[in-house]
Amino acid sequence: MPYHVLPNHASTSRCILILLLVLTGCGGDENNAVQPTAGPVINSLGIELPPDAAPLHEQVLMYFIEEPKTLDVSLDNYGVKGSDPHLFERLTMFDADDVLIPGAADSWEPSEDGRTWTFHLREGARWSDGRAVTAHDFEYTFKRFLDPDEGNVFAFLFYNIKNARDFNHGNISDPDSVGVRAIDDLTLEIEAEAPCPYLPHIMAYNSAAPVPPWQVEKHGRRWTEPGNMVSNYSYKLDEWITDRYISYDLNPYYNGRYPGFLEKIKLKFIIAGTHPGIAPYENNEVDRQGVFAQYLGEIENSPDLTRELTSNPHFQTWYLFFRTTVPPFDDVRIRRAVSHAIDRETICRVILQGHGTPAYTMLPPNFPGYTGDQLKDVQRFDPSEARRLLEEAGYPEGRGLPPIEFWLRQADPTQMSIAQAIQGMLKETLGLRVDIRNQEIGLYMDNMYQYTIPFGLIPYQYDYPDPDNMLSQVWHSQPVGHGRHDWKNDEFDRLLRAGGTTLDHAERMAYYARAERILVEDVGGVFIYHTHVLELRKPWFKGLEPNAWGQDLFWGNRTTMMDIYIGNNVEERVF
């Protein structure tokens, strides 16, 4: 049956009002915006804000990001630095509870065998330059980011599409062989290699953002620069001032279900790998600010900051990985010894000060398919067992093992503290000497994909809420250059393939549970903790409400980002 969801953000009357404004050419121009002196606050698209909203000129959200290398999230997921969630509407989207809901597509349905999905696009959708959003744009997008000449490191996420892997690896040169076809302007057909029950979830991932073919063909990689860029979501690029900020305005042509409340979004730049500290937040230069655990002492000394601190469990797992094809970590006993030498409870209690959940599996609590409670004992903290395993492997008290390089990815102070704690635990329990190497993010990622990092610490946050994402996308064996890690287990791979092609939900989860047990027992990785996102938010930062498991996370994959507005208790801010 087709999947249909009614609007859950804007009422029908509001949607009609947007359409009328677009058709009459109104909206987008601050001089034409409704500016009431009393009564409701209405933004430049004619959207009425909640009753406690501040005046329209205050509807500007400000926060810090690292300056992006590009806004082309379809090719460079790392380079956008979190600057993209306001700009692109994918075929499907997620609500606050990570339930799949319509995006650019109003509905979708699978073929009887589950191999082919048909997406029906919203009629009347427009890019920010007024051109129609069509199925042809999505076909162009998918074939572009699978093109091997584009060098997209996230192409593997879409290997479920028919011939996508072979095309991306250069084994097939004809892009028309890839299973993505625009049947007409509003109908897109995506054919998978095998039955793929989670394919609509992949379509909600940030990298599935559409690109405007005419701008890409005209400007190449420069299509996202000011004057060239167009977007299809509630906001469009306004300014990009190098070394200072990037800003977005409302897209006057957006007629979808999730129009933004905010009149403007201003992202102020910080230097890569640095943190601005708490002072800019206290000076009202930003309305929200992510913080590290190292600032908790300072925050707890301030009643105001303590009230403004939020801590949200997040579907992200930090884990240790190994180069498992060469000594010493080709021996599972040594990997198991490492897993038993790590005191996760202490890391979460002391370093993270309670703002983290000890991890014993890849999948976090509340994530679909979570079985961590049953597997907690497998990688438990057990120094005696750790020492026994290392001795059995021929290295009593670590004698005979050379120093091991321990790679970090541009670690912030909190991650450096955790790495140093792990370093100390391995030395104290096993006699292992690990030398920390804190590497620039690009160098780290290049080496990780080439399988040259001997021992590393890395996080993985979910892209879509299905075990396929956090198990298959990370741990299924891949050729060098196309996967994260060299760990390989044939039965694990077989179970993932079965879970990924089985249409019955309960059967799928059973396959993934068996696969994750293998991952944990064979120690493909050592799981350390599941992230809690720490963030300071001003009292006037409004609109995010707790979801089914208590999160009110500022998370770009969710349409709740469009619910944010500035409350009428706003103080003077530094724009």
Q: The pTM is what? A: 0.86
Structure tokens at 308: 């403004």
- Distance from C-alpha of 379 to C-alpha of 486, rounded to nearest angstrom: 20
Cβ neighbors of 211 (< 8 A, separation 6 or more) are: 72, 74, 137, 140, 141, 144, 223
Residue in this structure with the two tokens 């991932």, named with its chain if needed: 205
- Distance from C-alpha of 24 to C-alpha of 27, rounded to nearest angstrom: 9
For residue 19, the model assigns a pLDDT of 37
- What are the b/e assignments for 315-352, b being 16+ CB within 10 Å? bbbbbbbbbbeeebbebbbbbbbbbbbbbbeebbeebb
Instruction: Report DSSP state, residue 133.
Output: P
CB atoms within 10 A of CB 158: 23
- Distance from C-alpha of 109 to C-alpha of 4, rounded to nearest angstrom: 10
- Distance from C-alpha of 540 to C-alpha of 562, rounded to nearest angstrom: 16
For residue 152, the model assigns a pLDDT of 87
- Assign 521 to helix, strand or coil: helix
Helix axes 383-392 and 332-341, enclosed angle (nearest 10): 160
- Distance from C-alpha of 47 to C-alpha of 573, rounded to nearest angstrom: 24
Residue in this structure with the two tokens 């073919």, named with its chain if needed: 213
Contact 284, 291 (CB under 8 A): no
Q: Mind giving me the DSSP string for 286-297?
A: -SEEE--GGGHH
- Distance from C-alpha of 46 to C-alpha of 28, rounded to nearest angstrom: 10
One CATH from 3.90.1150.10, 3.10.105.10, 3.40.50.800, 3.40.250.10 for 312-531: 3.10.105.10
Residue in this structure with the two tokens 């059973």, named with its chain if needed: 510
Backbone Cα Rg of the chain: 24
For residue 482, the model assigns a pLDDT of 78
Residue in this structure with the two tokens 């002492």, named with its chain if needed: 297
Distances in whole angstroms, Cα of residue 15 to Cα of each of 18, 131, 560: 5, 19, 17
- Distance from C-alpha of 86 to C-alpha of 569, rounded to nearest angstrom: 25
Q: Is the dihedral of CA 292, 293, 298, 304 positive or negative?
A: positive
- Per run of 10 residues, the mean pLDDT along the chain (length 575 residues) is 39 38 40 53 95 97 94 85 90 95 98 96 98 98 95 87 95 97 98 96 94 97 95 98 97 96 97 87 97 91 96 96 97 98 98 96 96 96 98 97 96 94 98 96 93 98 93 93 93 97 95 98 98 97 93 90 97 96
For residue 26, the model assigns a pLDDT of 42
The H-assigned helical ranges of 97-147 are 135-146
286 residue type, one letter: V
Helices (H) and strands (E) in the chain, counts: 18, 19
So where are the chain's domains?
312-531
Closest by CA position to 171, among listed 468, 447, 479: 479
289 residue type, one letter: Q
Cβ neighbors of 349 (< 8 A, separation 6 or more) are: none
Q: Is the dihedral of CA 421, 426, 431, 433 positive or negative?
A: negative
- Assign 167 to helix, strand or coil: helix
Nearest-5° Cα angle at 425, 515 to 525: 15
Closest by CA position to 5, among listed 136, 100, 83: 100
Contact 244, 113 (CB under 8 A): no
For residue 38, the model assigns a pLDDT of 62
Residue in this structure with the two tokens 């999948």, named with its chain if needed: 363
